[in-house]
Amino acid sequence: MNKPAMPNSFRTGPDEQGMFGIFGGRFVAETLMPLILDLEEQWNHAKNDPEFKAELQNLSTHYAGRPSKLYFAEGLTKHLGGAKVYFKREDLNHTGSHKINNCLGQILLAKRMGKKRIIAETGAGQHGVASATVAARFGYPCVVYMGATDVARQSPNVFRMKLLGAEVRPVTAGHGTLKDAMNEALRDWVTNVEDTYYLIGTAAGPHPYPELVRDFQSVIGSEARAQMLEQEGRLPDVIIAAVGGGSNAIGLFHPFLDDKDVRIIGIEAGGRGLDGVEHCASMNAGKPGVLHGNRTYLLQNADGQILDGHSISAGLDYPGVGPEHSWLRDSGRVQYEPILDDEALEAFQLTTRVEGIIPALESAHAIAHAMKIVPKMDKDQLVIVNLSGRGDKDVHTVANMLGMEI
């Protein structure tokens, strides 16, 4: 890849075609095209509409519990013996992760567009739960597509979705993970395009989804930036987030992109190592291709067939990534590093013991990277780790890995 010239600002994308450099776009079937053009138009109105903003603000505060705290993780800081570690506590949001930020925004868009039915895809089940939650709150029927493997490894979330009144449809194609769920959601959407709103759970898919999901999630970074200035009187030195499709990461990163002195690190699922195919490190080991409506880094073979990948964490088990991350990678603004299953598991256990916080396995990947770099940093340096969700959903997976019975 040629390195694109350094832009004046990293925060202006996408362009009118929905591109971030060569990434992004609208690679969808004609059936969906009129709908995503309509969505774009509605979104352009909504984002400048004071009433829309006020309604979202009100729900964020009183329903989701924002702002989430920026918490000084003293136990972990002491344990690591280097820079000061802060957690952005998205795990404390209603439904237990950052996914609610996006779902509240999109359900208001669905309402604006007069849609009658919500569909969503989910990996870890956090987005499925958040979708089912807002559907319940606003009185919509909701169908959630979830890979059969994920249905098994995230059973607490499957039950939560059912309690919330959603129908969970297991998808057996491929490895039965997030990619397969997304294919099936797209097939439903193409079939029921008139009345259905597709509530995409991450900053990927055809334009305008990557942009609008990012904008709904950017509340994470805006808050964290202001909170750090208030609590420490300066910006952090490093910010870290796990990257599945990339929504919690872009939400944290985006408000910091033009702060040149802030180092930004995205963490991909390294699975069982990057040598084979058992990982989901699309930006470290994949190449650009087209899937699910956008061009982005993908795990694929020489014939352009998409690989299934692997991660211990259902939310990171996706062979692609949102297009803005691909662009940030190529432009060099953000550094993307892999973390192995075992390293995430260790971070999961350590955080639980020294902080009394059970992190989601996705978030544990980000913490694991902090564990690597923080001890080498100075004591007066500042690191923010995005604690994108809580780990209650993962206890079965962790018990399995540790050979324990629940």
To the nearest whole angstrom, how small is the minimum distance from the Cβ of residue 231 to ligand PLP?
Answer: 24
Considering CB distances under 5 to 8 angstroms, the limit depending on partner class, which of other proteins, ligand PLP, none binds residue 218? none
Considering CB distances under 5 to 8 angstroms, the limit depending on partner class, which of ligand PLP, other proteins, none binds residue 389? ligand PLP
Q: Which residue lies nearer to other proteins by CB, 25 or 125?
A: 25
Q: Is 40 a catalytic residue?
A: no
Considering CB distances under 5 to 8 angstroms, the limit depending on partner class, which of ligand PLP, other proteins, none binds residue 363? ligand PLP
Measured CA angle at 383 (ends 382, 389), to 5 deg = 145
The distance of Cα 259 from the centroid of its chain, to the nearest Å, equals 22
List of E strands, 256-316 = 263-271, 287-291, 293-298
List of E strands, 131-246 = 142-147, 167-171, 196-198, 238-242
Contacts of range 45-49, beta carbons closer than 8 Å, 24 or more positions apart: 46/108, 46/109, 46/112, 47/212, 47/215
Q: Which residue lies nearer to other proteins by CB, 33 or 402?
A: 33
Q: What residue type is assigned to position 301 of the chain? A: N
The distance of Cα 336 from the centroid of its chain, to the nearest Å, equals 14
Q: Do the bridges between strand 70-72 and strand 84-89 make them parallel or antiparallel, or are there none, so unpaired?
A: antiparallel
To the nearest whole angstrom, how small is the minimum distance from the Cβ of residue 33 to other proteins?
Answer: 5
To the nearest whole angstrom, how small is the minimum distance from the Cβ of residue 362 to ligand PLP?
Answer: 3
Q: Is 116 a catalytic residue?
A: no
Considering CB distances under 5 to 8 angstroms, the limit depending on partner class, which of ligand PLP, other proteins, none binds residue 127? ligand PLP
Q: Which of 77, 163, 43, 47 is nearest to 350 (CA)?
A: 77
Question: Counting beta carbons within 10 angstroms of the beta carbon of residue 112, is it exposed (0 to 12), middle (13 to 18) or buried (19 or more)?
Answer: middle
CA distance 398 to 280: 19
Q: Which of 234, 217, 214 is nearest to 86 (CA)?
A: 234
Considering CB distances under 5 to 8 angstroms, the limit depending on partner class, which of ligand PLP, other proteins, none binds residue 194? other proteins
Binding to ligand PLP in span 288-347, by CB under 6 A = 315-316
Q: Which residue lies nearer to other proteins by CB, 304 or 375?
A: 304
Q: CA 351, 310, 24, 37 torsion: positive or negative?
A: negative
Two tokens, residue 63: 């329903």
To the nearest whole angstrom, how small is the minimum distance from the Cβ of residue 368 to other proteins?
Answer: 30
124 binds ligand PLP (CB under 6 A): yes
Q: Which of 251, 214, 219, 212 is nearest to 61 (CA)?
A: 219
Q: Is 388 a catalytic residue?
A: yes
Q: Active-site residue among 84, 88, 99, 115?
A: 99
127 binds ligand PLP (CB under 6 A): yes
Binding to ligand PLP in span 234-293, by CB under 6 A = 242-249
Which member of 121, 150, 324, 362 binds ligand PLP (CB under 6 A)?
362
**What residues line the site for other proteins (CB under 8 A)?**
17, 25-35, 173-174, 179, 183, 186-187, 190-194, 287, 289-293, 295, 298, 300, 302-306
The neighbour count for residue 8, using CB atoms within 10 Å, is: 8
Q: Which residue lies nearer to ligand PLP by CB, 249 or 377?
A: 249
Considering CB distances under 5 to 8 angstroms, the limit depending on partner class, which of ligand PLP, other proteins, none binds residue 368? none
Q: Which of 267, 269, 344, 346 is nearest to 310 (CA)?
A: 269
Q: Which residue lies nearer to other proteins by CB, 188 or 355?
A: 188
Q: Active-site residue among 90, 121, 184, 362?
A: 121
Number of residues that bind ligand PLP (CB under 6 A): 21
Strand order in the sheet with 23-27: 19-20, 23-27, 293-298, 287-291
Which member of 101, 106, 126, 227 binds ligand PLP (CB under 6 A)?
126
Q: How far is CA 355 from CA 86, 134, 346, 347, 370, in A?
A: 11, 31, 14, 11, 14
Binding to ligand PLP in span 189-208, by CB under 6 A = 202
Which residues bind to ligand PLP, rule: CB under 6 A?
A: 97, 123-124, 126-127, 202, 242-249, 315-316, 360, 362-363, 388-389
The residues that are catalytic are 99, 121, 388
